[in-house]
Amino acid sequence: MGQCGITSSKTVLVFLNLIFWAAAGILCYIGAYVFITYDDYDHFFEDVYTLIPAVIIIAVGTLLFIIGLIGCCATIRESSCGLATFAAILLLVFVTECVVVVLGYIYRAKVEDEVNHSIQKVYNEYNGTNTDAPSRAIDYVQRQLHCCGIHNYSDWRNTRWFKESKNNSVPVSCCQPGISNCTGTLTRPADLYQEGCEALVVKKLKEIMMYVIWAALTFASIQMLGMLCACVVLCRRSHDPAYELLVTTNSYA
């Protein structure tokens, strides 16, 4: 009966190690996605420490690949030392992912204040040229999020670019798709996106942070199961003389 329980735990461990390898790739992908997306919105978000959860997620993903390798070797060779190391590293990663979840919630709560603080400055720096980074960022966000201005398209009236251009128009990135000959003129407001960008940028950045939080929570749960299985194998091995005898016999065979 004890042998069956150990075999079942070992089977689960091997399966979990395969999941860890898959999780390593998924976590690294999520971390990279956060970095790439942040690069598109970085002008609206000045606190670089917001990237800390993404950095930790990538580090955890890399570590999970190593953990899977250690776990497979320890399970196949039935090494007590290897399984103990496996369980200890899993505990460390589990704690790290709990930290990621906490940091994710902290920075997610700060997103709105950060965007509110920086978005007006970015719009004031707009000059309409492709070579200017803030201008490219605003045009990109307005096209991607289907928005115009901070709260709505009328916010452009207060920008330096609007006052200097004196053509009563907003950038063409405010034009709705499918509208032919749209020049951004305010005399045809129906051609423009009606929603402002501030709320949509906040929503997008909060969604990104939630990806990190849910990924950390999901894989932390899997790692807890891995720790439990490793502990079961270790405990039963140390308290089951028949299993120890079987392992010794197999080793000499």
Contact 52, 9 (CB under 8 A): no
252 CB burial (10 A radius; 0-12, 13-18, 19+) = exposed
Contact 74, 85 (CB under 8 A): yes
Tell me what pLDDT residue 49 has: 66
For tokens 């207060």, the residue is: 158
Cross-strand partners of 175:
192
Q: What is the pTM assigned to this prediction?
A: 0.74
Tell me what pLDDT residue 146 has: 94
Tell me what pLDDT residue 113 has: 83
Tell me what pLDDT residue 200 has: 92
User: In order along the chain (253 residues), what is the average pLDDT of each group of 10 residues?
Assistant: 49 67 81 79 70 80 77 66 75 84 83 83 85 85 93 92 89 90 90 92 86 83 75 65 43 42
Tell me what pLDDT residue 132 has: 76
Residue 44 identity (one-letter amino acid):
F
CA distances from 89 to 29, 84, 180 (A): 22, 9, 59
Tell me what pLDDT residue 236 has: 65
Tell me what pLDDT residue 14 has: 66
Neighbours of 80 (CB within 10 A): 14
- Quote the crossing angle between the two packed helices 197-239 and 2-41, to the nearest 10°: 160
Nearest to 162, CA basis, from 130, 192, 128 = 128
Residue 135 identity (one-letter amino acid):
S
Tell me what pLDDT residue 88 has: 80
DSSP state of 152: S
Tell me what pLDDT residue 193 has: 94
